Amino acid sequence: MRRDISVACFTGDSGLTDYSLSLARELNKTIPTEVVTGISLPKTFDSFGVPVRRFFRRSRWYPLDIVRFFAAVIAERPRALLFQAQLKVPLIEGLMVTVFRWLGIRCVLTVHDVLPHYPRPWSAAEFTWFYRRFDRLVVHSEAARSALERMGVQRPMLVVPHGVYDLFRLASPDKATARRRIGWTAPESAYAVLFFGHLEPRKGLVEFLQAAEQMKDRDDVVFVVAGRFDARHHPAELAALVERLGRLPNVLLRNERIPFEEVENYFCACDLVAMPYHEGSTSGVLKLAIAFEKPVLASRVGDFPEQVPTGAGVWVDPGPQMAEGLVRAVLSAKADQPALEQAMRGAAAGCDWRDIAAKYAHFMLAPN
């Protein structure tokens, strides 16, 4: 940790990594900053204007790597150590942070999700204890701040929006080119609804595909699903359902992690980005939609009510009738597309990294 600020993120190929690099490259323009992350970070990011240290290996190496990390921080003493969520094991890392603070290292945590997506009975107690180990916390919404306060977490908190993911805008192909690149076979005039990222039930994946099934006889709406579905972590019947619905004539499914260079093709190819989540505190997918100026379809969970630009989205309610609600929302968005697109234009200015980084820097480095 040879810089004034070290941003620590265990994974090298996740949304947390994208956030870490986006924030750090802006911080590094005025304050020496580095990112300490996983060895899986693609080489593409070496040219992003921020020093990167590929440090963490796969999970089985965690016991050794966390000791190496602990020793490196003590040896190099950054002015501030910024964790992007827990690295892997909150109990171990909380004890480690306690030592860092005793040695005078400012420890700050960005709370992307207040609780794990699949919490265990003890998660609330575990994470309450973990959050209390840090000097300061950063959250993305007033909803997240309120949730932490209800848990009894009393720490200085900075509320800043999740920054826009403009780092994925490379060539910004036109819609026809982008559709050709993703393997589009539907009529060129068809309306494309994109479900992007990790393919999980908590994000409304099943209901999204059920909505596609209800609209399978229409050729003017296509449901694009891009991301990895890890069948090992879900029941066999769910995997079979995803496989069956993925073969519908109006569904374009790519079941794998989308490489960095190809992400823009999916957003440039679509008309609407769907986030019908059942739970969650925030989502990087929303910031991708904002970066590419694409209207959204979202549920009222987490920070979506605060962060979706006014007039740039349509809403759906989680629950037993979500699939039907998705059908209605898609048709509503299709009819109002020009107005939705107009509302989304310029929305990126509200989550600009320069402003976010300035607030982070002041919050992390200001005296007590």
Give the 3-state secondary structure of 245-272.
HCCCCCEEEEECCCCHHHHHHHHHHCCE
Side-chain-side CA neighbours of 299 within 13 Å: the count stands at 25
Average of pLDDT values for 181-199? 95
| 141 shares a domain with 34 | yes
pLDDT of residue 246: 87
The mean per-residue pLDDT over the stretch 273-278 comes to 96
Residue 368 has a pLDDT of 74
Average pLDDT over residues 171-184: 96
Residue 326 has pLDDT above 80, yes or no: yes
The mean pLDDT value of the chain amounts to 94
Does 201 share its domain with 212?
Answer: yes
Is residue 143 domain-shared with residue 157, that is, in the same domain? Answer: yes
Q: What value does the mean pLDDT take over residues 165-190?
A: 94
Residue 231's Cβ-count burial label (10 Å; 0-12, 13-18, 19+) is middle
| Per-residue model confidence (pLDDT) at position 296 | 98
CB count within 10 Å of CB 278 equals 18
The predicted model gives 96-118 an average pLDDT of 95
Same domain, 197 and 334: yes
Instruction: Check residue 280 and give its pLDDT.
Output: 80
pLDDT at residue 1 tops 60: no
What b/e string do you get for 189-220 counting C-beta neighbours within 10 Å, with b at 16 or more? ebbbbbbbbbbbbebbbbbbbbbbeebeeeee
Total count of residues recorded for the chain? 368
For residue 118, what pLDDT is reported?
85
Q: How does pLDDT run across 122-136, given as a tens digit for each residue?
A: 999 999 999 999 999
Report yes or no on whether pTM surpasses 0.85: yes
Nearest to 123 by CA among 87, 90, 95, 92: 90
Q: Which residues constitute the domain of residue 88? A: 5-163+352-365
- Averaged pLDDT, 58-69: 96
Q: DSSP assignment of 304-321, as one string?
A: HHHHSPTTSEEEE--STT
With contact defined as beta carbons under 8 Å apart, do 73 and 48 qualify? no
Same domain, 146 and 182: no
pLDDT of residue 285: 95
Whole-number Å distance between alpha carbons of 62 and 66: 6
What CATH number did the domain enclosing 200 receive? 3.40.50.2000
Distance, in Å, from the CA atom of 291 to the CA atom of 312, rounded to the nearest integer, reads 13
Token couple for 358:
């300035």
Q: How many domains does the chain have?
A: 2
- The crossing angle, in degrees rounded to 10, of helices 236-245 and 205-214 is 40
The span from the CA of 288 to the CA of 279, in Å, is: 19
Mean pLDDT in residue range 228-242: 84
Task: Indicate whether 304 and 314 sit together in one domain.
Answer: yes
E strand map for 117-164: 136-139, 157-159
- Tell me, what's the pLDDT at 2? 58
Average pLDDT over residues 325-345: 97
Look at residue 237 and tell me whether its pLDDT is greater than 90: no
Residue 251 predicted with pLDDT over 90? yes
What band does 3 get if pLDDT is binned at 50, 70 and 90?
confident
Residues 278, 306 within the same domain? yes
CA-nearest of 7, 100, 22 to 56 is: 7
- Determine the Cα–Cα distance for residues 320 and 337; give it in Å rounded to an integer: 27
Q: Which residue has the tokens 């539907």?
A: 186
Same structural domain for residues 172 and 132? Answer: no
pLDDT at 339: 97
Residue 35, pLDDT above cutoff 80: yes
Both 15 and 76 in one domain: the answer is yes
Above 90 in pLDDT, residue 319? Answer: no
State residue 242's pLDDT score: 85
Mean pLDDT of 144-161: 95
My answer on whether 118 and 208 are in the same domain is: no
Least confident of 86-90, 98-102, 237-241, 274-278: 237-241
Q: How confident is the model at residue 325 (pLDDT cuts 50, 70, 90)?
A: very high
Condensed to tens digits (0 to 9), the pLDDT of residues 212-226 reads 999 999 999 999 999
pLDDT at position 9 over 80? yes
Same domain, 98 and 181: no
- The pLDDT confidence band at residue 318, using thresholds 50, 70 and 90, is confident
Residues of the chain with pLDDT > 90, as a percent, come to 82
- 331 shares its domain with 211: yes
Comparing CA positions, the residue from 240, 206, 241, 211 lying closest to residue 223 is 211
Alpha-carbon gap, residue 99 to 361, rounded angstroms: 23
* Residue found under tokens 């080119």: 177
What is the arithmetic mean of pLDDT over 34-46?
A: 93
Q: When comparing pLDDT for 107 and 48, which is higher?
A: 107
Q: Give how far Cα 192 sits from Cα of 112, 136, 185, 268, 291, Å.
A: 29, 42, 12, 10, 18
